[in-house]
Structure 1
């Protein structure tokens, strides 16, 4: 029985632990806090391969330049963070072209193509969580904008999903009566799903505990001991952990861990915000993406969540009121009345961002027993089960069934 030590207990680390344990292998999960915190709990919960496209793309540089230093904009770069973010931003800009955008789209589609099947298998395996199969709506600012998005998103047919359905303003109002009556319409993605992310995290934790996975919580890794091409053990706050293999799945903190191995990866933190209303005064039938403002709305059982934005300000817990108010006002302009609820919870999470928006998956160069699964950006929940399955295969020496070259840790060298 091979022992795998997973550093990081977010949705990626939990999914990797799940697939490794399903092989009857030994797992120890190490987290600096409590498993499933941060972006794993407060994201929008979308299981949407159609919307798995990369952040950098044609025209992104011009668009983002209008947003960069506005505190309530969809993309904000904190001025004091520019010096240490500059190398990452320069790499990001190199991916803002049509060719690299299409390559990243293809890679994202292929890693997500079996997503629905994997979520169904998770349910069959006894993991309990809230999941809805209702599709998803994408709103455009006008008919021309909708047509442009349709042309971009219809390429999802290549992985067997239906192309988006164009919905008129009148049809949209029937689907979602709380929308304003003068909207141009939307694209309906009929096969997409959404889950309550907190419930999925809790379901995985419960399954892992029942199935004998050791969890070391509030136990940060402070040192990594390696001899030539192998890591032998890691030092935590509570002592040493030895294992046969090690997996770095610490999200936005992964690059800090890699420095202990004299390796560098361009993973930075992209902060997102969400506001969750308990017992909301409005009910919605589908998740809704407000594409122009990069904000979103997701209905859950007994709750409603709105969220979005990308804030590049380093790793921090600061909640900027301008960012929160920007999300609220962006969503409000599409609705017939203001959202209220019996309670309001505001959270932020540090998305692990790579310059090309693709995750880093695979063995760490120069090491025989160290692997990486990090950098999923806003697609962590969507790609979590695929990632867990792929890493389980790679660590075991099996063929994962797809080309992992686009996700290689060496692609930025």
Structure 2
């Protein structure tokens, strides 16, 4: 049955939802407070990562986080502040950082990522629009024995779940990346992963959806949401009023503020990440994560992107030069061959805000408090990877179909 659907949020989750809702015959409108050219969906590392099945809230992260709070250049930084939503999130985060919760989430997160990878591949072969997509895997590069042991432990867990993973020596890595000089003791190689060029994909996806009749309203901020009974009756923006059969909340880090207008509490904190694009040839052909520094490296279409950090410091888009320089320093530390390449830092760096739930799992589904609202947010660092799968499942939920995956762990009403 064709429905009129309004999607709040034009990032990868919102666009993927628009794509699959359009494919199912729905009339779709996407509204966003930005101009559809910035944010986390444009500056991320473009990873499609079945290898990333360990949520942010994991055993030991609290201890690391306390230590890293003293270092403004650390990979994971939480800025303390007297804010009730933040304090509740921290408490829920601490409760979620348990081995039992990670173990329970592992299989479904792998399945979620694999589904999304296959949907990207299917989308690329559909003829709708062309985009850069490569499956070359992911190297988890380490410089210390301790980091190598930790990464291999994750790799062995992945093998049990059916993923192909290898523990490589420096010479074996060199055979894969002959044109770069890596300062490492080894790397764990996940064959399961793929990568893309996000900013190009977003631009081309929007162009395709517009050509198919999907409406886009840019620079429109949702000011209020009116309720009639237990359904949304009207969305009020700074420019107009929108009425629809179904609403999709895919507003990323702003979803918590909007959901409060409906009496729905979804704990979220914005996790800022940074990226630097290097236009000069680097010789890098395989995506990598520099383990100790938590820096991601992606060979994109025409440039190489270096990105990283998770900065929980509220909703703001200010560039912290200390954290940007830490990314550049790590890149040169691991890749000796980058010494002669100018890594522009402050001037070219961009940032994006990733919506982080306390347990590291996204919110996908309908809240019991509003029958025509589907929530799709909280994907943290896996937003790009889980985009198509989330969009397909959102479409299935709205069309009252059986979902492609069991979504119980991701229910918006779950307790922490």
Q: Shorter-normalised TM-score: what interval? A: over 0.9
1:83 shift after superposition:
6.2
CA displacement 1:195-228 (0-9 Å, x = unmatched): 0011111121112111100111111111111111
Change (3 A) 1:46 1:181: closer
How far apart in 2 are the matches of 1:403 and 1:160?
A: 19
How far apart in 2 are the matches of 1:221 and 1:368?
A: 19
The match for 2:247 is 246
The match for 2:148 is 146
The match for 2:199 is 198
Query: With structure 1 as the length reference, what TM-score do the two structures score?
Result: 0.95
1:105 shift after superposition:
2.0
How far apart in 2 are the matches of 1:232 and 1:84?
A: 27
How far apart in 1 are the matches of 2:382 and 2:37?
A: 15
Change (3 A) 1:181 1:161: closer
The match for 1:264 is 265
**Residue 401 (1) aligns with residue 416 (2):** no
CA displacement 1:137-192 (0-9 Å, x = unmatched): 11123345324322223333465432x11111122223234654652111112231
Give yes or no for contact 1:4–1:28 (8 Å, CA) kept in 2: yes
Query: With structure 2 as the length reference, what TM-score do the two structures score?
Result: 0.94
Give SS of 1:149's match: helix
Structure 2: tracts of 5 or more residues without a match: none
Give SS of 1:113's match: helix
The match for 1:55 is 56
The match for 2:369 is 366
**Residue 97 (1) aligns with residue 70 (2):** no
CA displacement 1:279-314 (0-9 Å, x = unmatched): x24220111101122111111122111010011110
The match for 2:36 is 35
Cα RMSD of the aligned pairs, angstroms, is 1.9
1:45-194 alignment, distance < 5 Å: 45-80=46-81, 85-125=86-126, 126-157=128-159, 160-162=162-164, 164-177=165-178, 179-180=180-181, 183-194=184-195
1:365 shift after superposition:
1.8
The match for 1:321 is 321
Give yes or no for contact 1:52–1:379 (8 Å, CA) kept in 2: no
- Structure 1 window deviating more from structure 2 (61-70 vs 399-408): it is 61-70
How far apart in 1 are the matches of 2:71 and 2:199?
A: 31
How far apart in 2 are the matches of 1:300 and 1:381?
A: 14
Structure 1: tracts of 5 or more residues without a match: none
Give SS of 1:29's match: strand
- Structure 1 window deviating more from structure 2 (337-346 vs 146-155): it is 337-346
The match for 2:388 is 385
Change (3 A) 1:131 1:113: closer
The match for 1:223 is 224
How far apart in 1 are the matches of 2:78 and 2:136?
A: 35
1:241 shift after superposition:
0.5
The match for 1:330 is 330
